[in-house]
Amino acid sequence: MSTTRLVDDAVSELHERAKSDVDEGRLPSCQLAIALDDEIVDVRTYGDVPAGEATRYVIFSATKAIVAATVLQLLSEGTLRLTDRVADHIDAFSTNGKEQVTVEQLLTYTSGFAKAPLGPPAWWSHDSRLEAMSKWRLTGDPGAYDYHITSAHWVLAELIEAVDGLDYRDAVRKRLAEPLGLKALRLGVPADEQGDIARPVLVGEPATAEEFAAVGLDGVDPGEATDENLAAFARDDLIELGVPGGGAVSDAADLARLYQALLNNPRRLWDPDVLEDATSNVRITDVDMIRGVPANRTVAFMVAGTDGMSGGRGMGHGAGSRTFGHDGVGGQLAFADPDTGLSFAYLTNGMERNVLSQQRRARGIASRANKCATPYS
């Protein structure tokens, strides 16, 4: 029997906060879900959506945890090791100084090619992706942290294919979605199956210099996450491609269910030691220059920690120190707290141009979610 209960007043406050963004015109829609004991205990959708509670959203960098969870299965099976050189599995990595890059460095954003380019037309096929990777050069020292917006996960996708023999999108479906009954979660969705997806739209205006100055910043470098690139995920072809660093789709309920599985491992998809390491062993504490806080990264997730900066890691204030998860640009949230057993997901198709406003909203939503479960007294 669960030792945790849902706090109804806190859930109501969470709903009111989420709904207000839609009611007041700041976002076109949003969706949230809370799970406990491997069950969805609350789900709500607000706004103009194509399929009600079954509406799916592009989850952007929350995708990274899905790809990592697939890699964790290969680590669990022993067909891949963290110490393996990528070049041992992918010949394209035996060039231009990349020979010693390891699987662990890919997973922890320490592989030295944070800005390696891979876009159209090269990203449309397996062969052209490998050809592009063979030309990549290191732009930093392997071992030094630098958040890879998409490059590392393109390599992880090819690594999955090399080791598992499956297209990376099929591997996510067969290894995660199908065993866990996640019917909405997909990486790569054919165009004729996209009718239930709330397409990303840009909203609001960029933060002003005065707004940045008020929080001690000159501005934020979005890297690849420009307004133009984010808006492109409304296109059928990009959703069908399934960019492994940011292109998965899901509803909030399936994302919360996935994090329940990562908490409880009910189907034993992962070796317990591998999963424990991935959800708790912080390997990287360097400051993430995009977030402005220490990264607190494992090989798959960020961990809330005890430094009071969990809000900058997409888990809000008041998160248990062992809470782990991975958020996404635009305010997508996904995390689980081992202390309460709660998992939570929040998704929106409103890509707010004001990054400071988006960050405040994410903190407010996540902080309220953290109050929604408490141990029985």
- Same domain assignment for residues 161 and 210: no
pLDDT value at position 355?
86
pLDDT value at position 105?
96
- Same domain assignment for residues 216 and 363: yes
- The count of structural domains within the chain is 2
Strand partners, 250: 57
- Same domain assignment for residues 161 and 190: no
pLDDT value at position 375?
78
Positive/negative CA dihedral, 119, 122, 124, 126: negative
* Owning domain of residue 94: 73-169
- Same domain assignment for residues 155 and 31: no
Is residue 34 within 8 Å of residue 337, measured between CB atoms?
no
Is residue 350 within 8 Å of residue 30, measured between CB atoms?
yes
Pairing of strands 287-288, 373-375: unpaired
Q: Which of 23, 70, 5 is nearest to 278 (CA)?
A: 70
- Same domain assignment for residues 233 and 159: no
pLDDT value at position 224?
67
105 within some domain: yes
The pair phi, psi for residue 44, each rounded to 5°, is -150, 140
- Same domain assignment for residues 86 and 124: yes
What global pTM score does this model have?
0.95
List of residues 6+ apart from 288 with CB closer than 8 A: 145, 147, 294, 295
282 within some domain: yes
174 within some domain: no
- Same domain assignment for residues 109 and 218: no
Distance between CA atoms of residues 279 and 250, nearest Å: 21
78 within some domain: yes
177 within some domain: no
- Same domain assignment for residues 153 and 197: no
The pair phi, psi for residue 99, each rounded to 5°, is -60, -30
Per-residue tens of pLDDT for the chain, all 377 residues: 467 889 999 999 999 999 999 999 999 999 999 999 999 999 999 999 999 999 999 999 999 999 999 999 999 999 999 999 999 999 999 999 999 999 999 999 999 998 888 889 999 999 999 999 999 999 888 889 988 888 999 999 999 999 999 999 999 999 999 999 999 999 999 999 999 999 999 998 888 888 787 877 776 666 666 778 778 889 999 999 999 999 999 999 999 999 999 999 999 999 999 999 999 999 999 998 888 899 999 999 999 999 999 999 999 999 999 999 999 999 999 999 999 999 999 999 999 998 889 999 999 999 999 999 987 65
- Same domain assignment for residues 132 and 198: no
- Same domain assignment for residues 8 and 146: no
